[in-house]
Amino acid sequence: MFLKRYTNLAFIFAATILLSACHSRKLTVRNSNNGGIALPKVNRGPYVMVKPDKEIADKYAAMMGLKRNDIQNGRLYSFIDEWMGTPYRFGGMDKEGVDCSGLVFLLQLQVYDMPVPRTCAMQVNNIKRKYEEELKEGDLVFFDFDGKQFSHVGVYLQNGYIVHASTRRGVVIVKLHDNGIYQYFSRAGSVIDSSLTTSGN
């Protein structure tokens, strides 16, 4: 009986480590292999800039204090619109629930055709660091929540706004300088093409 209970606990612990996404510091692999984590099939194709629908452009321009013509990336804002409000679920990668690094993984692949690792701890090793004032649309922003380094990630948009999977509100757009999040801001940068960084390994 004790052995069975011990085996069950060991299995749960191992599964937690493998599924760790937003709150993991343990996985520090520097390439895009995902530590044995099963990933869903994702529709992708070569990145092409597509103009947004008028309704989407109007909606997100108003939300971020921009002019409609400032919203240029139709693929990005259609993706956000599709996922907006999806609840947070640790380890999730579907409309039932998604975590922060899962959202980033899907966004980078579906919008920019740029594969990134699955977890925060690996994603942070896959960026070219930038200062805050250098950030451009699609760059990753990392936060140190719960006293853990690089335990949360979002994607920079424009005009000081980011999109991320909030544990309380689900997928949401917020200002990077919002009091509740900016104090935890720790690193940012543009995604590095992992096929270029791993070819010599």
22 included as an active-site residue: no
Q: Is 188 exposed, middle or buried (0-12, 13-18, 19+ CB in 10 A)?
A: buried
Q: Which of 22, 23, 120, 164 is catalytic?
A: 164
For CA atoms 100, 101, 104, 106, give the dihedral sign: negative
User: Which residue of the set 23, 100, 120, 177 is catalytic?
Assistant: 100
Taking CA atoms, 124 is separated from 11, 45, 121, 139, 143, in Å, by 28, 24, 6, 11, 10
Check 22, 23, 120, 152 and give the catalytic one: 152
On whether the CB atoms of residues 27 and 99 are closer than 8 A, the answer is: no
Instruction: Identify whether 177 is a catalytic site residue.
Output: no
Q: What would the two tokens of residue 64 be?
A: 């971020």
What is 143-191 written as a DSSP string? E-GGG-TT-EEEEE-STTEEEEEETTTEEEEEETT-HHHHTTEEEEEEE
Catalytic residues: 100, 152, 164
